[in-house]
């Protein structure tokens, strides 16, 4: 459960530092990401090779890159993630579900779908449940479904909490902070809000932190937070991820120091 002293919890997380062991743990919790939209085959190839050598949890890329990445990652143990309704998260639930279905058919093990942000801002929390239910029904059993809440745009903790609870009620697998495309990405405050909902769900839902996490120490802060709220044993690739494009380089630096 979330400690009563949330401010103290966040300050302790900010003070966390990554040593070699922590960097190695974080590497295996990483969704190595490229979502620029102009990736060339050579770049996808390099990303997949880096992912396999580093033994990260997953790679996350646009649906158009799935066929190549699927071939390269076959048998490696690195999971394949992609996005739907990305990055704006519109109100067309049927379209989002169709994108999720197509992604799964193209080989995605995991689909990160953007929540209907405008609807949430207008108080229509029900749209979140409708989206998750539609996407859940659209993808095969076993496909991991992550909901991107764009917490920096939602801003208010009550909005974040209400949307997260609605998603959990409809069977989402992970709550994710951000697309990485909005002005504000992940924050420790937003992560605490999501972890509180996850704790309510008895830890049966995961957390993915994404958006602006670039250094090993920044990642260590979120790891500390997750462990403080949920316990060390809860933190695993099945329940905790960090999505980032440049973090791996700094993790390697710390591991090699």
Active site residues: 112, 176, 208
CA dist 14 and 233 (Å) reads: 21
Residue from 181, 176, 248, 257 nearest 215 by CA = 248
Three-class SS state of 69: helix
Which residues on adjacent β-strands are paired with residue 207? Answer: 175, 240
Q: In terms of C-beta distances under 8 Å and separation of at least 24 residues, what long-range contacts does 9-12 make, across chains too?
A: 9/192, 9/225, 9/228, 9/229, 10/188, 10/189, 10/192, 10/225, 12/224, 12/228
Establish how many alpha carbons lie within 13 A of residue 133's alpha carbon, considering only the half-sphere containing its beta carbon.
Answer: 8
Q: Answer whether 219's CB lies under 8 Å from 207's CB.
A: no
CA dist 257 and 255 (Å) reads: 6
Q: Answer whether 150's CB lies under 8 Å from 183's CB.
A: no
CA dist 235 and 192 (Å) reads: 15
Give helix 247-256 / helix 20-27 axis angle, nearest 10°: 140
């Amino acid at each position: 459960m979330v400690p009563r002293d949330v401010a103290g919890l966040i300050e302790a997380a900010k003070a966390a530092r990554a040593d070699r062991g922590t960097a190695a743990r974080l590497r295996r919790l990483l969704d190595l990401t490229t979502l620029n939209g102009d990736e060339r085959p050579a770049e996808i190839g390099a990303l997949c090779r880096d992912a396999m050598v580093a033994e990260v949890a997953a790679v996350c890329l646009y649906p158009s890159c799935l066929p190549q990445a699927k071939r390269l990652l076959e048998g490696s143990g690195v999971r394949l993630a992609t996005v739907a309704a990305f990055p704006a998260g519109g109100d067309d639930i049927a379209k989002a579900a169709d994108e999720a279905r197509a992604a799964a058919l193209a080989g995605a093990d995991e689909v990160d779908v953007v929540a209907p942000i405008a609807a949430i801002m207008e108080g229509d929390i029900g749209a979140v449940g409708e989206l998750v239910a539609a996407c859940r029904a659209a993808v095969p059993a076993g496909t991991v479904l992550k909901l991107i809440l764009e917490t920096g745009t939602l801003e208010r903790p009550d909005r974040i909490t209400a949307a997260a609870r609605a998603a959990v009620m409809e069977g989402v697998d992970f709550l994710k902070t951000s697309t990485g495309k909005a002005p504000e990405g992940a924050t420790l405050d937003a992560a605490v809000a999501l972890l509180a909902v996850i704790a309510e769900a008895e830890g049966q839902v995961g957390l993915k932190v994404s958006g602006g996490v670039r250094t090993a120490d920044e990642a260590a802060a979120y790891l500390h937070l997750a462990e403080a709220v949920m316990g060390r044993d809860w933190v695993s690739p099945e329940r905790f991820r960090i999505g980032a494009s440049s973090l791996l380089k700094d993790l390697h630096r710390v591991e090699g120091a």
